[in-house]
Amino acid sequence: MSNRILGYLAPRQFLRRHWQKRPLLVRAALPQGADLVDAATLRSLARRDDVESRIVERRAARWETTHGPFRSLPVPKRDFTLLVSGVNLHVPAADALLRRFAFVPQARLDDVMVSYATPGGGVGPHVDSYDVFLLQGSGRRRWRVWDAQDRFFDEWVVEQGDLLYVPPGWKHDGVALETCFTYSIGFRAPRGAELAAAFLDWLHERGLPDASYRDPGLRPTAAPGRIPAELVRFSEKLLSRIRWRRADITEFLGRYLTEPKPHVVFRPSGTRGPMITLDPKTQLLYCGGLFFLNGETVRPPRRFAKALRELADRRIVAARRLAGAPLEGLTSSWLRAGYAHRVRPQR
C-alpha cells in the first residue's frame, strides 16, 4: 500500500527531514469520510473496565481531569474532552489506521487514542516524551506548537483529514473550534530508568545472586548511625556478581515490548478460515531466530521462521504455512487464547 498519509513525502524522506526533528502538517492526508468511531461508541468504550479513558474539562485557566471508567457520561456544550486510549484494540478501523504507520518498527507503535471535544475543549499546552501524529476527524481544531526551547513555532487550523506530526519534547496545544474528533497515533519510547528497573526484575526472576548478610563478629559501636564498612563491602561483592549477555538483553527486550498492558483482555473468536491473523491486542516481534508474542519467547524450527516473520510484519499469513509439529500445536493454543484468529482473506 502506498503511504499517501505523509502527503508528497515518502516515508524515507519524512524520517530524514522531520522524525524527531521538526513538526509537519499534511493537508488532506486522508480523504474526508466517516469518522473511525461515533460519539456513542466512544462513550460505550469509556464505560468499560478494560479500556483506559479520561475526561478533561476546562474551568477558567485550569484543566480538571477525571479518570474512567464512567458509568454516566453527560457531555457539556463547551470546554469538554473525552479521551479514550487503545481504541485500535477494539475498533478495526482504528487498528487499520495504526498500521498505516508501519514504516516505523512495530516495537515503537503504541496505540490510537481518540479525543471527542466540544468547542473550547482541549487538554492544555503540554509536552510528550514520544512522537505523535494527530489526525483530525470531523470538526475543526486550532493547534499551536512551540519548539524544545519553548519558542513559538507555528499555528494551524486543521480540518477533517489533516495530519499534524509533533516530535517529542515539542509543546503543543489543541483547542476544538467546534465539536470534533481527533485521532492521536502515539509511539512508545521506554525511559532508561523504567527499562533498567524492568530488566533487573527480569534478571531476578531468572535467579540473581542471593545471599544473606552475616556479621557474627559484630562488636559494640560508638556510631550507630554509620553504615558498617563490612555491609558496604558485602553489597559491592554481591552486586558485582550480576552478569548478563547480549542474548539476555534481546530476550528481555522482546518479552518487555510485547507484554500486554494490565487491563488487556483476550477473547477467542471461534471464526474459521484459511488465514491466521493476529488479534489487534497481540504484539508479535522477532530478532534473529527468536520470536516474542505477548510477553513469551517462541523458538520455532528454522523452516517456520519465514512464515512467522511474515505474520509479525503483515499480521496475517496462510494457516497452511504454520502447519506441522511443533508449531501447529502452538498456533492452536494462540487461537484458543484469542491471541490470533482464523479468517477468510479479504477481497
pLDDT per position as a tens digit, 300-309: 999 999 999 9
Kindly list the distances between the CA atom of residue 113 and the CA atoms of 78, 271, 279, 307, in Å, as whole numbers in the listed order: 21, 28, 18, 31
Between CA 15 and CA 119, with CA 184 as vertex, the angle to 5 degrees is: 135
Cα 260 from Cα 276, distance rounded (Å): 20
Kindly list the distances between the CA atom of residue 2 and the CA atoms of 88, 160, 168, 237, 299, in Å, as whole numbers in the listed order: 21, 20, 26, 57, 33
Helix (H) or strand (E) run with residue 252 in it: helix 246-258
Q: Answer whether residue 137 shows pLDDT above 90.
A: yes
CB atoms within 10 A of CB 326: 10
Residue 237's pLDDT band (cuts 50, 70, 90): confident
Residue 2's pLDDT band (cuts 50, 70, 90): very low
> CATH number for the 250-343 domain, one of 1.10.3720.10, 3.40.50.720, 3.40.50.2300, 3.40.366.30?
3.40.366.30
pLDDT per position as a tens digit, 154-205: 999 999 999 999 999 999 999 999 999 999 999 988 888 899 999 988 988 8
- Reading across the β-sheet that carries 171-176, which strands appear in turn? 126-127, 171-176, 141-146, 152-158
CB 183 within 8 A of CB 37: no
- Region(s) of the chain under CATH 3.40.366.30: 250-343
Question: How many angstroms separate the first and last alpha carbons of the chain?
Answer: 15
Output helix, strand, coil percentages for the chain, rounded to the nearest 5.
Answer: 25, 25, 45
Q: What per-residue confidence (pLDDT) applies to 330?
A: 93
Q: Answer whether residue 239 shows pLDDT above 90.
A: no
Percent of the chain with pLDDT over 70: 98
Q: Answer whether residue 206 shows pLDDT above 90.
A: no
Instruction: For 166, list phi and psi in degrees, rounded to 5.
Output: -125, 120
pLDDT per position as a tens digit, 89-112: 999 999 999 999 999 999 999 999
DSSP class per residue in 118-157: -TT----SEE-SS-EEEEE-SS-EEEEEE-TTS-EEEEEE
Q: What per-residue confidence (pLDDT) applies to 278?
A: 97
> CATH number for the 4-187 domain, one of 3.40.50.280, 1.10.533.10, 2.60.120.650, 2.60.40.420?
2.60.120.650
DSSP class per residue in 305-344: HHHHHHHHHHSEEEGGGG-STTHHHHHHHHHHHTSEEEEP
- Region(s) of the chain under CATH 2.60.120.650: 4-187
Cα 246 from Cα 33, distance rounded (Å): 48
Q: Answer whether residue 77 shows pLDDT above 60.
A: yes
CB 258 within 8 A of CB 285: yes
Cα 324 from Cα 304, distance rounded (Å): 9
CB atoms within 10 A of CB 135: 23
